[in-house]
Amino acid sequence: MKRVSAAQAKAHLSALVAEVAYGGQHIIIERRGKPLAALVSVSDLEHLQRDRPGSERPLGALALVGAWSEVVDDELDALVTDIYRSRLADEGRPVNFDQ
């Protein structure tokens, strides 16, 4: 695996792309000795994405998109109302200022 600085990658991008696309090389691009990115062929990228478990499933906040699609609006409204009612009733935790 070849390693190049970001400055070298910028200066020699065409040659590096050729090494990756036609030579099967993998290239790590570094800044101040720390890896930032990698150049890999499209076929290698497709292989990595295909073999990654759960790659079709969104993660984080994106996973929430559509998560409530099967809940009818009345149930969702009732849930939100219940949350606000609980917040209003919550008196918080006791705080002692005499220490």
pLDDT at 59: 59
What's the pTM value of the predicted model, to 2 decimals? 0.51
Residues of the chain with pLDDT under 70: 51-69, 99
What CA–CA distance (Å, rounded) separates 22 from 26? 11
Going from N- to C-terminal start, the domains of the chain cover: 1-54
pLDDT at 5: 93
pLDDT at 20: 92
pLDDT at 84: 87
- The pairing of beta strand 2-5 with beta strand 34-39: unpaired
CATH architecture of 1-54: 3-Layer(aba) Sandwich (3.40)
Sign, CA dihedral 25-19-46-62, equals positive
pLDDT at 11: 93
